[in-house]
Amino acid sequence: MTIPPLAAEPLFHIGSFPVTNAYVNSTIAVAGFLIAALVLKRRITLVPGTLQNAAESVIEFLLGFFDQVTADREKSKRFLPLVATLFLFILVSNWMGLLPGTGSIGRWLMHEGQVELIPIFRPAGSDLNLTLAMALVSVLASHAFGVVTLGFFVHWNRFIQLGTVWKAVVSLKPIAILTALVEFIVGLIELFSEVAKVISLSLRLFGNIFAGEVLITVISGLVSFAVPLPFMALELIVGIVQATVFALLTLVYLTVATSAPHGDEEHAPSPKAAAAH
């Protein structure tokens, strides 16, 4: 019984680029999605078949789920490609870690000065590099959507409120200046919280998937017949939960980033009032 190390193990190198066992799993998952998309694209008809019905059901379910967060079908459609991709990729890559041979079929290679059996397959989510990259994409995408939806200055004024400070200084009102300085400091704290989002998203997913891999390895090493099955079933549920949590948090970030600041909402004219003018 060998406890998997924290870092994904390299199987070989392409130039200076190490190809790890976790990267192999993620590549297989991406290739599977691409093949499924190409097959589905060729079979789209006015009278949907079984595959098209299944795909449409999944999309409609996800849109309905997103609507509960965004409260806006148009926003749900805008966020669907990114959030649904993250959800399905995390779900499938997590479940792939339960396939026979994952963690047990490998190559004997030199690793950290010793000859060890390096598994060819390792759950993609158990690689911190991958979870960190997905978390970074999630947070950066929320800012990109925010800039496109609200405008560059409106979006970043949430974090760097120089405009608010300038207006307060020009007004020469002590209370307004003090309030603006407090809001400026709070905005900087919010900016640091964006970094915390990346760290928390990546570590949450990595910690749960890696812990599950260690648990299955330990249980299988102690008793290899029947006993690991309930734990593997539990990992199926964990895969769904972790994919849902990651996608839901990404959706929340996107929704908040594309919502107008409270002050703008309060002072913005209603459509009827704008039409009257």
pLDDT tens track for 70-107: 999 999 999 999 999 999 999 998 888 777 777 677 77
Q: How far, in Å, CA of 198 to CA of 208, rounded?
A: 16
Comparing C-alpha atoms, which of 34, 11, 33 is closest to residue 22? 11
263 pLDDT more than 60:
no
Write down the residue that tokens 């549920």 correspond to: 237
Please calculate the CA angle 241-10-239 and round it to the nearest 5 degrees: 10
Length of the chain, please? 277
Of residues 121 and 251, more confidence is placed in 251
Q: Give the model's pLDDT for residue 275.
A: 40
276 pLDDT more than 80:
no
Q: Give the model's pLDDT for residue 113.
A: 67
Q: Give the model's pLDDT for residue 2.
A: 61
| Mean of pLDDT values over 170-188 | 81
Q: Give the model's pLDDT for residue 163.
A: 73
Q: How confident is the model at residue 203 (pLDDT cuts 50, 70, 90)?
A: very high
262 pLDDT more than 70:
no
Give me the DSSP letters along 106-172.
Answer: EEEEEETTEEEEEES---GGG-HHHHHHHHHHHHHHHHHHHHHHH-HHHHHTTT--HHHHHHHHHHT
176 pLDDT more than 60:
yes
271 pLDDT more than 50:
no
Mean pLDDT over each residue of the chain, to the nearest integer:
84
Give the bridge partners for 178, in sequence order: none
113: left (phi over 0), alpha (psi -120 to 50) or beta: left
User: What does the buried/exposed string (b/e) look like for 232-255 if buried means 16 or more CB atoms within 10 Å of the residue's CB?
Assistant: eeebeebbeebbebbbbbbbebbb
265 pLDDT more than 70:
no
121 pLDDT more than 50:
yes
Of residues 7 and 67, more confidence is placed in 67
Q: Give the model's pLDDT for residue 272.
A: 40
Q: What percent of the chain has pLDDT over 90?
A: 40
